[in-house]
Chains A and B, each alone.
Chain A
Amino acid sequence: MDARKESPVSTATVTPAGQLSIPESRITGGRLRDDFRGMNVVWRRELIRFARNRVRIITALVQPVLFLFVLGTGLSPVLKGGPHGFDFKTFLFPGILGMTVLFTAMFSAISIVWDREFGFMREMLVAPVRRSALVVGKCAGGATVATLQGAIIIVLAGLVGVPYSPILILTLLGEMALTAFGVTALGVLIAARMSQVESFQFVMQLLVLPMFFLSGAVFPLADLPQWLAVLTRLDPLSYAIAPMRTAVFEHIQVAPSLLKTLEPAITWDGWRVPLGLELGLIAAAGVGLLFAAVAQFSRPE
């Protein structure tokens, strides 16, 4: 607004007829400002919708809680067979954070499909705002919402033997945000190409579930048969779960022998992939997908 202060007609005036005229000099703002405003609208809307839809927040908690406390408790005796009693739920915890982020972010992104047909997104698409700004706003919004949903799961950490260490919590939040951004960008890219709401099931069954199961969220990526080992390394989500698990295991006491089984590093042909590269891969994938999503969304009809 400051940039346009020099304009002599910069204040809105009310004509005698009661009609408010907004001087055109005021509504033709700079491109960047327009884009930023558009981004901000998409992001804020995503947050408001998240906060208002309590049912969705609670429903989205059911699946992680089932995995963590039912699957985790059920499988714990198997692991306790060893000399160092270990709670399988602790192992599962970072995987469940990843799962929460994956599902929440993907759902938020795919919602574009019906939002574009029947919702507010249509209204945004006719506004004088570049589509790229809307896509960036959507990715930021989806990432924020998914991270918030993951933060709710972090609250449960104490119940599964994970300490409430501020450093650990911040690390996990950061890693979740990075993952959420990448997943949302992937979802938006898919949504841009999807014409029917019904395709959502395909995406869930053919993409999201395989990504989840192959990521090492529910089992350690060690001593796997060759075919499965290859698939897990092709799954980008593996590189998002591993850093979160590393962070958790750095904050608990585990016998070294058990650590080797439960927190094996991801290797490429025997080479240990460093943490920084794992995070870098996720970030690079996120940015690449974002550009692809922008390009896909900006095609004129």
Chain B
Amino acid sequence: MGSPPPSTVSFSVAANLQIGSPRTADPAVEVIDLHKRYGDLTAVQGISLIVAPGETFGFLGPNGAGKSTTIKMLCTLVVPTSGTARVAGYDVVTARNEVRRRIGLVFQDTTLDDYLTAEENLRFHADLYGVPRAAVKSRLQEVMEMVGLWDRRKSEVKTFSGGMKRRLEIGRGLLHAPRVLFLDEPTVGLDPQTRNHIWNYIHELRKREDITIFLTTHYMDEAENCDRIAIIDNGQIVAVDTPEALKASIGKDRVEIQTDSNNGAIEALKDRFGLDATESEGAIAFHVDGGEQFVPLLFSEFSIPIRSVRVARPTLDDVFMNYTGRTIRDAESSAGERMATNPWMRARNRR
């Protein structure tokens, strides 16, 4: 793992981008054709992406889509089978420690030590990352105030609620002033109110720190908070853009109806209006321009009794549906089945 001395590294980075360009112009994350195979199972199959500095980038996809594996490769925890990835200008395989110094990582499950106080947890982190002694005190106060836990710094972490722990972990991830902060499902398992709070902290953080945030989520509403999102399914990126652009790309309204005969209705929609409809959770959904004007037409022309109608502007759910042909919930249940039959994958997923 011998990493070259820093001077050599910065030289080669500068050379790549023409000498003289500031380091901050490097992409924060640059991934080219990344693969990860576990035996027969390909968890990640050819992901490429570029995240600009200062961007908040979201990885949206169902559990088992390859989000966590990708993030682990970017954080140097898992070695890619093939392809390259650079984070903060350093290769995740050959310059592992250089990457590690420049990233903060908040795991899905808490990794705080319950027996230590909040402050001790952070001090240990500062030591592990080699934050200079003189800087630790002020930086500690700064991040703890940012996440609203400065008053509780002397309390043992076991007295903290789930939301407080998550906030402390975010604070800890920032302590060594990383250039990229990875948040793996930052709000999973938290109640809606706490989720909101966490997002407020993340927004505050974006205002105050010059930092790139790379997060994974399977909550559509959370993905809306990102500058750009990548939709990932079966280990591949199926779409990357801003949430607005992704929604606009569909353009049409989403109409959901419940009928007495769903199969017949799908057929009828196809025959009469040339619409492709899909069935999910007992309802039929399809996309059409001017949904509200379409509904009266639907009622007048349809012979199958309609029990309910809902018209909605496109959401990220629709975007996901559009690109993958299923809802994120359906994708998760089938991924769950796939995983249940593969004990190895199940064990892996617990991590």
- What is the interface of chain A, defined by CB distance below 8 A to chain B? 1, 10-12, 14, 17-22, 24-29, 33-34, 37-38, 40-41, 44-45, 48-49, 52-53, 117-130, 195, 300-301
Contact = CB atoms under 8 A, between A and B. Distances in A.
Contacts of A130: 1
Given A22-B176, A125-B77, 19 more contacts: A1-B132, A10-B132, A12-B135, A12-B139, A17-B208, A18-B208, A20-B138, A21-B177, A27-B131, A37-B127, A48-B116, A49-B115, A118-B109, A119-B113, A121-B111, A122-B111, A123-B172, A126-B100, A126-B105
Given A19-B210, A22-B177, A123 B132 contact: no
Contacts of A25: 6
9 contacts: A14-B138, A19-B209, A21-B177, A24-B101, A40-B127, A48-B120, A118-B111, A120-B112, A128-B98
A37 B77 CA distance: 20
Given A53-B115, A126-B77, A37 B128 contact: yes
Given A20-B138, A22-B135, A34 B113 contact: no
A12 B111 contact: no
Nearest to A48: B116
A124 B112 CA distance: 10
Contacts of A120: 111-113, 116, 121, 124
B130 interface: yes
Given A1-B133, A21-B177, A128 B120 contact: no
Nearest to B75: A126
A121 B113 CA distance: 9
Nearest to B2: A31
A45 B105 contact: no
B129 A127 contact: yes
A119 B127 contact: no
Contacts of A1: 132-133
B6 A301 contact: no
B130 A29 contact: yes
Contacts of A122: 107, 111
Contacts of A20: 135, 138-139, 142, 177
B116 A28 contact: no
Contact of B124 (A19, A28, A45): A45
A167 to B, nearest CB: 36
A124 B128 contact: yes
A3 to B, nearest CB: 12
B129 A27 contact: yes
Interface in B122-164: 124-125, 127-135, 138-139, 142, 156
B78 A301 contact: yes
A129 B101 contact: no
B135 A41 contact: no
B134 A11 contact: yes
Contact of A126 (B76, B110, B112, B209): B76
Interface of B: 1, 6, 72, 75-79, 97-98, 100-101, 105, 107, 109-113, 115-116, 120-121, 124-125, 127-135, 138-139, 142, 156, 172, 176-177, 208-210, 347, 350-351
Contacts of B105: 126
B101 A28 contact: yes
B96 to A, nearest CB: 8
A228 to B, nearest CB: 40
A25 B113 CA distance: 30
B154 to A, nearest CB: 13
A126 B139 CA distance: 21
Nearest to A301: B78
Contacts of A38: 127-128
B132 A128 contact: no
Contacts of B350: 117
A27 B115 contact: no
Among A41, A48, A120, chain B packs the most CB atoms within 10 A around the CB of A120
B101 A123 contact: no
Nearest to B113: A120
B176 to A, nearest CB: 7
A253 to B, nearest CB: 45
B131 A300 contact: no
Contact of B130 (A14, A33, A301): A33
B244 to A, nearest CB: 27
A38 B127 CA distance: 7
Nearest to A26: B132
A301 B79 contact: yes
Contacts of B351: 117
A128 B97 contact: yes
A24 B6 contact: yes
Contacts of A17: 208, 210
Among B101, B139, B208, chain A packs the most CB atoms within 10 A around the CB of B101
A45 B116 contact: yes
